[in-house]
Amino acid sequence: MAAAIEIAPGCLWWSGWLDRLGQEALVAELRALLAEAPLFTPRMPKTGKAFSVRMSNCGPLGWVSDETGYRYQETHPETGQPWPPMPPVLREAWRMLAADAPEAEACLINWYGEGARMGLHQDRDELEFAAPVLSLSLGDTAVFRIGGTSRRDPTRSIRLESGDALLLSGLSRLAFHGVDRIVPGSSTLLNGPGRINLTLRRVHPIDRALEN
């Protein structure tokens, strides 16, 4: 495995962590998974404004957003069914790249179509901030931006390509970050333009004394 590049304190970037065959196999698993837990459009709390990104989840818990707020829940908001299990490659990625963290409980599946973006935000709906957030990119390149724990902090941008992995940990766990844009046609992995971002998270704290 190639060494990680630390682009900000605690923000680690592995370029090409998942090879092409691994990416193709994971996309095939995701297609089957999304047939069971189809993409839905999250909405902003209070206003109900639709996100430009569509999404689903896998694992014991899934993240949802609607007029009532951001939250994790055990079922799909439209089908009412439990989220499907995480593919083994995602659990293995968490074990390898977030080795000291308790088991991931949720994996967000974000679909970026044409014109989709994600404004600067913090991942702070979890009850466990000591565990990192791990993301894997599939498909078109994303222009990813990261700053500090204040919106006023300086930011820097990198291009996340298909197969890249990124870890937000330590001082970067609550850093503001987002996706400015997608570069259409920069990957041939998917059937057409677009990007899938998989974000693995630990939601609940674990009593360390009970683990031993």
Task: Output the CATH code of domain 5-204.
Answer: 2.60.120.590
Q: Which residues are CB-neighbours of 4 under 8 A, at least 6 positions away?
A: 12, 13, 14, 167
What pLDDT sits at residue 3?
87
What is the residue-level pLDDT of the chain in tens, covering all 212 positions? 678 999 999 999 999 999 999 999 999 999 999 999 999 999 999 899 999 999 999 999 999 999 999 999 999 999 999 999 999 999 999 999 999 999 999 999 999 998 999 999 999 999 999 999 999 999 999 999 999 999 999 999 999 999 999 999 999 999 999 999 999 999 999 999 999 999 999 999 976 434 44
What pLDDT sits at residue 1?
67
What pLDDT sits at residue 212?
40
Give the DSSP per-residue string, 97-155. HSTTSPPP-EEEEEEE-TT--EEEE----SS--SS-EEEEEEESEEEEEE--SSTTS--
Amino acid present at 141: T
What pLDDT sits at residue 210?
40
Rounded Cα gap, residues 110 and 174, in angstroms: 19
Summarised one tens digit per residue, pLDDT across range 47-90 is 999 999 999 999 999 999 999 999 999 999 999 999 999 999 99
Q: Are 164 and 137 in contact (CB under 8 A)?
A: yes
The three-point CA angle 149-153-158 to 5° equals 90
Token pair 């593919």 in the structure block, residue: 87
What pLDDT sits at residue 206?
77
Rounded Cα gap, residues 87 and 26, in angstroms: 8
